[in-house]
Amino acid sequence: MDGVEVIFEDGTVDKFDAVIGADGIFGSVRSYVLQDKVDQFAASPAGFWDCRNLVPLERAKAVLGKELFEQDRQYGWVGDGGFLMHDVLENRTMVQCIISAVEHSPTSERKRVLTRETLTQTLSGWLDGPIAKGMIELCLDQDDLHGYSQWEHKATPTYANGSVCVIGDAAHAMTPWQGSGAAMAFEDAMILQELLGNITSLADIKVAFKAYDVIRRPRCQRVIDSSRETGLIFCGQHTDAGLDPEKLRALLAPRWDFIFSLDMSAHKQDALHTLRDMQQG
């Protein structure tokens, strides 16, 4: 059959030359792409949870100390089993506070209620330090504090099936430790635009989607794995570095190099060469 038939939630049925699923980590287009492998490669817990709150700058200064807000910068605090972060947002009026921690017993329920007791227990090893008690206070400055389990696609055998493909979190959901999930979605779109802009027949859409899979999957998989490992380093779990500041600095500093250094023009050229090879083969 040529084209793809899509049934929408409201019952509408329509037919398209191709479908690009950008429907997120639990999107349904992934099910079509992976067929009977969809459960095997479903998203699963990455081993961390986090919670956050946005509080007024003056409140954050009062609780954490005004010296932490003399510079406009993001602060990250590494501790045993957890990572705390705060940064000034909203034109210097609000502060984002995040508590992240290693998740020891993940469940299928991705959301958990957090109380003062659970947070105190999570950060029990660093309550005597300068930051943990204050961050607990600031995160509890809301009615209903929840922690969210971080899930990821540990592996995905293909991003494309015929005239259907997935991009963004539908293809490669990842942890937020390297801040790259949306960035990878933009790169996916850039490569698809290059490929689809260089074909002249509907039949070649399938080839373009195959080339997209070949070009994008290794890079995105590398970011997924690197991001998870970065989380372990940030949570003081790296066997060599532990909580040693110098070792942490040495380990963390180069971790973004492979993400930022990709030459986008060369990446697009690689995609086009792959497309041409497939068309000729």
Ligand X SMILES: Cc1cc2nc3c(=O)[nH]c(=O)nc-3n(C[C@H](O)[C@H](O)[C@H](O)COP(=O)(O)OP(=O)(O)OC[C@H]3O[C@@H](n4cnc5c(N)ncnc54)[C@H](O)[C@@H]3O)c2cc1C
Nearer residue to ligand X within complex by CB, 167 or 215: 167
User: Which token pair is 166?
Assistant: 């997935």
The residues with which 206 forms a beta bridge, in sequence order, are: none
Range 15-34, binding ligand X (CB under 6 A): 22-24, 27-28
Closest distance to ligand X from the beta carbon of 70 (Å): 24
**Nearest residue (CB) to ligand X, 74 versus 115:** 74
79: contact with ligand X by CB under 6 A: no
Give whichever of 23 and 204 is closer to ligand X, judged by the CB atom.
23
Rounded CA-CA distance 262/178 in Å is 15
Q: Give the separation between CA 138 and CA 59, rounded to whole angstroms.
A: 8
To ligand X, the closest distance from the beta carbon of 242 in angstroms equals 25
Residue nearer to ligand X on the CB measure, 28 or 221: 28
145 neighbors 53 (Cβ within 8 angstroms): yes
Binding segment toward ligand X, per CB under 6 A, in 64-72, 137-145, 176-184, 250-258: 176-184
The residue among 114 and 185 lying less far from ligand X, judged by its C-beta, is 185
Residue 195's contacts (CB-CB under 8 Å, 6 or more residues apart) are 208, 209, 211, 212, 271, 272, 275
Q: Is 183 in the site for ligand X (CB under 6 A)?
A: yes
Match 């991001």 to its residue by tokens.
Answer: 227
Q: Does residue 185 touch ligand X according to CB under 6 A?
A: yes
179 is a site residue for ligand X (CB under 6 A) = yes
Using the minimum distance from each CB to ligand X, give the nearer residue, 136 or 184: 184
Q: What angle do helix axes 132-139 and 57-64 make, rounded to 10 degrees?
A: 150
Residues 136-175 close enough to bind ligand X by CB under 6 A: 168-170
CB-CB contact of 45 with 106 (8 Å): yes
Please compute, for residue 140, the number of CA atoms within 13 A of its CA located in the half-sphere on the CB side: 14
Instruction: Write out the residues near ligand X by the rule CB under 6 A.
Output: 9, 22-24, 27-28, 168-170, 176, 179-183, 185
